[in-house]
Structures are given as C-alpha cells and as structure tokens.
Amino acid sequence: MARHNGGRGWYGKVLGAALGVTLLTVGATWGTAQAGAVGDSSPKASASAEPGSDVKRVEESIVHASDKGARGVNITIDDGPDPVWTPQVLDVLREYGVKATFCMVGTQAQAHPDLVKKVVAAGHRLCDHTVSHDTAMDKKSEAYQSQEILDAERMIIKASGGVRPMYYRAPGGAFTPYSRKLAASHGMRPLGWNVDTKDFEGPSADTMVATVERELPDGPTVLFHDAGGDRAETVEALRRILPQLKEEGHTFGFPVR
C-alpha cells in the first residue's frame, strides 16, 4: 500500500465553513436507530451510548484481504459522497451487481446525507475517512487524530440514519498505531489498498484499467474516488473493468473484518 496525498486541495476551499459547523454539531444527539445484530453487514448505532461503546472490537491490523477468498476483489471508493459523481458510480455498480466500500469524508457525508442513505440502501458498506482528509494526520497529536476519526464516525452515522462505518481508512495511508487501535475499538477495521488507480491525477480510463490488470495480482483491494474533481474517467473505468473482472472469474466482496 503506497502512500499518496490524493492531490485534493479542493478540501481546503470548503472545509473552513464546514468545520465551523462541525465543531458546533458533533456533540449533538447523533442517532436513534436500534443496535444491529452481530455480523449484520449494516450495523446500527445505539441511541443510548456513545458511538463505538456498544460494538465489538475488531482487529487493528490493516486489512487488504477479501471475504470472497483468493479470487475476490474489493472495490473501494474514496472521498465522497459527491452529488455529481456518487450517483453515477452507484449506477455502474448496480448495473453489474457489484457491492463496494465507500470511504466517506465526514464533512461530505454531513453535506449529502441523502447520498449516504442511497449508498447504504444499495447494500454497500461505509468506511470512515476522517473529517478533513488530512494526509499529514500521522504527524499530529493523538487528540487531533481522535477528533478526526470519531467526529467523522458521528457524522457518517447521523447522515446514514444510524448505520455504522465498518472500516477506517487513513487519508493517504497516514495510519498510526494509535489511530488503528482507536478505530478498531469502535468496530472499524483499518483498511488499506493494493491497487491505486491514481484517478485523482486525471489518467484516462484506459490507463486505470491497465493499472488494475497489472497490479491486481499484488492484492484484491482496488482504490477509486468519487469526489475531488472530474470523475468521468473513473466512471468509465469502472464500467469497463467490472465486467472484465467477472469474465476472468473474479467475484466482488468486502474487506474482511
């Protein structure tokens, strides 16, 4: 899993106002759903406890493996939800019957709760991708890391209507032992990647498809993005690679927990 910063300077343009709202709202009541059963793929948050206090701790090592085994592929989608691109990504996934893991930025989830709910309703899983997508957060204090992870968790739970993120992906791969342990204690398995399409750099769909073909033997978890810029080529790459992988005998699953 190579580290990257994603080149997403767009966050700096929107986070100033959003974070002001965030700091006023994250302490508010965040959900009213009933707790989900153990093993439920869309676990519900408890209305009477702090997020994470009623969930089973998971492994804190960074996961890459697929629950579909040796021929499994995990499609992961980062940085949304986005009102332009997330619906298009969802359409392609639905067309080919593929479930994915959406790693959501807290402020984006807060701004677009309707899209978070659509992701959940389609059977996809949620992943905590922090509040502000700070790729240098591994250089910051534990208090800062905690705020970034747990505030995003609350935002996602609230936006989803009570569905918990099942994974935590550090922006740019900026994991620390502390952040992994904290996420795991809240039932969020630290999630890495094996195949980086680098779609944030603006490659063509052809290039992204070739990257997946070349790097998939290194591991099953593939990284795409549905926010942070024009994702037309990402949508096209997904439209091409999903049926191709199926023809090659791959099945699509989720990262193991």
Residue 43 lies in a domain: no
Contacts 24+ apart (CB under 8 A), 136-144: 136/174, 137/170, 137/171, 137/174, 137/179, 138/170, 138/174, 138/175, 138/176, 138/179, 139/174, 142/178
**pTM, entire model:** 0.84
| 8 Å CB contact between 189 and 59 | yes
Can you tell me which residue has the tokens 């996961």?
63
* Mean pLDDT across 161-189: 98
For residue 24, the model assigns a pLDDT of 36
Residue 22 lies in a domain: no
* Mean pLDDT across 27-54: 40
Question: From the centroid of its chain, how far is CA 207?
Answer: 23
pLDDT digits (tens, 9 = 90+) for 104-147: 999 999 999 999 999 999 999 999 999 999 999 999 999 999 99
Average the pLDDT over each of 7-16, 97-106, 119-128 and give the range with the smallest value: 7-16
| 8 Å CB contact between 147 and 113 | no
Residue 50 lies in a domain: no
Question: Of the candidates 241, 227, 195, 218, which has an alpha carbon nearest to the alpha carbon of residue 83?
Answer: 227
CA pair distance 140, 12, nearest whole angstrom? 18
Q: Is the pLDDT of residue 162 over 50?
A: yes
Residue 33 lies in a domain: no
Q: Which domain holds residue 94?
A: 55-253
Query: How many domains, in total, are found in the chain?
Result: 1
| 8 Å CB contact between 232 and 238 | no
Residue 243 lies in a domain: yes
For residue 1, the model assigns a pLDDT of 74
CATH number at residue 232: 3.20.20.370
Residue 149 lies in a domain: yes
Q: Which residues are catalytic?
A: 78, 225
* Mean pLDDT across 203-208: 98
